[in-house]
Amino acid sequence: MSIRRAPAPLPTIEHRIRAGLPELTPSERRAARAVLSAYPIAALETIAELADRAQASAPTILRWVSKLGYSGFPQFQRAVREEVQDRMKSPLSLFDTAPRIGAEDGGLLHGFFAAAAATLMETERMIDPATLDAVIDVLADPRRRILALGGRTSHIQAKYLVFHLHHLRAGVQELQAAAVPLYYQAADLGRRDVIVAFDYRRYERQTIALCRTAAKQGATVILVTDPWLSPIAEVAAHVLTAAIAVPSPFDTGVTGIALVEALLAGVLQRQGRDARERMQMLEDKAGEARDDFVADRKTTVLRPED
């Protein structure tokens, strides 16, 4: 018997506002769209300023905020401010406030692993199964070129995806700002390209810029991000959200890697025998390279001195 999963929770206030648009009256919808048009700045204006921006009355603003689940406008604004602050936190800003593992948690390893496991379960709840399937379909499509990139630490996840996905299909590579800057590489992106961007809070400007350019040029953008959402979400065709908070000033990468491994497992299922044949071909190539290396070493060792 299959178990029907509950819908994934909406991770941000902005997402909740967008999702609630169909249920609003025309005047309430104007208020919501006014906030979305300049989020989060518009959400932090006074009621009078927001009413003027939305061409709606103050009572309309209050009714809309109530439908979002807030007892009043101050509570709504407090939630927005807290969300913005969480979104921009750095390891240094978390150093004094991040939870620590105590003796009551069963020791460092047990406590940390338990927290990491809880983060994985939270990530599972946030992932929409239909979105995951759609991303797997795109990654498994042999007609598409897959390009992955990340930031200061998330580039590790991009490399991990590229290394393993290359075993299953051709046309996979990592985008890096090396000899050729990313904004030059963006000029060559088009409709058959798929950008997989890993972008977490303190979001990377050059990653955001490349994804925006890629989307304008018809490329499909897939975003893996945190619950506060990278700005890339505005142009992404698919968004996968990973929980990242653990008892440490450093956000965990475990959930991002786990998502990558789930995607790889899905692509493997889609590819079937084609993936096996490619893996066999790569193993054969690796064997030939090892044989050539051994032969070269033997020739070098046996070569008489000049």
The pLDDT tens digits of the residues spanning 157-177 come to: 999 999 999 999 999 999 987
How are strands ordered across the β-sheet holding 193-198?
Answer: 172-174, 145-149, 193-198, 220-225, 238-241
Fold match, 13-86 / 112-271: no
Average pLDDT of span 186-202: 91
Give 7's pLDDT tier (boundaries 50, 70, 90).
very low
CB atoms within 10 A of CB 29: 18
Q: What CATH class has 112-271? A: alpha beta
Q: What is the pLDDT of residue 194?
A: 97
pLDDT given for residue 136 in this prediction:
97
Angle at which helices 254-271 and 273-302 cross, to 10°: 110
For residue 102, which amino acid is it?
Answer: G
* CATH class of the domain comprising 13-86: mainly alpha
Q: What is the pLDDT, as a whole number, of residue 4?
A: 37
Tell me how far the alpha carbon of residue 292 is from its chain's centroid.
41
Local confidence band at 99 (pLDDT 50, 70, 90 cut-offs): low
At 13-43, the pLDDT tens digits run: 887 888 888 899 999 999 998 888 778 888 8
At 302, is the pLDDT very low, low, confident or very high (cuts 50, 70, 90)?
A: low
pLDDT band at 90 (very low <50, low <70, confident <90, very high): low
Residue spans of the domains in the chain: they are 13-86, 112-271
- Looking at residue 8, its pLDDT comes to 46
Predicted local distance difference test score (pLDDT) of residue 204: 87
Q: Biggest alpha carbon distance in the chain?
A: 95
pLDDT beyond 90 at 6: no
| Percent of residues, the chain, with pLDDT higher than 90 | 45
Confidence label for 268 from pLDDT (cuts 50, 70 and 90): very high
Q: Per-residue DSSP letters for 143-187?
A: TSEEEEE--TTTHHHHHHHHHHHHHH-SSEEE---SSS-HHHHGG
- The reported pLDDT for the residue numbered 193 is 96
